[in-house]
Amino acid sequence: MNKIGVIFDLDGVIVDTAKYHFLAWKELANHLGFEFTEAHNEQLKGVSRVRSLEILLDIGKVELSDEKKQEFLVSKNEHYLQYIHEMGPEEILPGASNLLDTLDDLGIQYVLGSASKNAPLILKQVNLFDRFVGIVDGNSVSKAKPDPEVFLIGAEKLKLKPEQCVVFEDAIAGIDAANAAHMISIGVGDKQTLSKADFNVEDLTEITSGFIKSLITKIETVK
């Protein structure tokens, strides 16, 4: 019987696809006649595709018909997928593969909890798809992070209570979602940005087997 389970965000935790989103959104912004910077791109992390376009259009103060928006959502994704199709296992972020090995060794199962509709494809590109016992992605949720829905479905797939789940996230909206789900939240990235996380690490290389075992003890004690 598993005592805990893990839910991973994808973009910024397992792989860095933000740079490809940036290139694709930047091209669209330039096409519409305005600049789109890396700082602007920060606002799109963890945010759904549709919401990302709305934020981008706000930045450029551009108004579009629903039809045009739909057209640009499709063309942006097609452009983004050109980069994704070039991805391979070498793009897995530091520490991610080792952490999955550690969890396997400890008999702890893990699922994906991502806003991306391309999540299954990305996991296949980097040869990690088969390792997850479940995938919750942008196709399976009706409410985006910071709503906890994505992680609550993840807990169901792990057959665990939310309190038994640990979430790895790089976006503020994701940490808020994990906290709202009453899960243990681990912020991956800038500690100040992710100050609401229960624990913070720069990257997954910092997560040791000892740390995971301490989480098991913590969750057991709370029960």
Give yes or no for residue 185 binding ligand G6P (CB under 6 A).
no
168/166 Cα distance (integer angstroms): 7
Among 6, 13, 36, 46, binds ligand G6P (CB under 6 A): 46
CB of 10 to Mg ion, least distance (A): 7
Give yes or no for residue 49 binding ligand G6P (CB under 6 A).
yes
Kindly report the CA angle at 136 between 25 and 190, in degrees rounded to 5?
55
Q: Considering CB under 6 A, how many residues would be counted as binding ligand G6P?
A: 16
Radius of gyration, alpha carbons of the chain: 18
Looking at beta carbons only, is 201 or 219 nearer to Mg ion?
201
The verdict on whether 137 is a catalytic residue reads: no
Pick the stretch among 32-40, 46-54, 189-197, 209-217 that binds ligand G6P (CB under 6 A): 46-54
State the DSSP string of 73-124. Answer: HHHHHHHHHHHHTT--GGGBPTTHHHHHHHHHHHT--EEEE-S-TTHHHHHH
SS3 129: helix
Give yes or no for residue 52 binding ligand G6P (CB under 6 A).
yes
The verdict on whether 9 is a catalytic residue reads: yes
Give yes or no for residue 40 binding ligand G6P (CB under 6 A).
no
Give yes or no for residue 3 binding ligand G6P (CB under 6 A).
no
Binding footprint of Mg ion on the chain (CB under 5 A): 9, 11-12, 46, 170-171
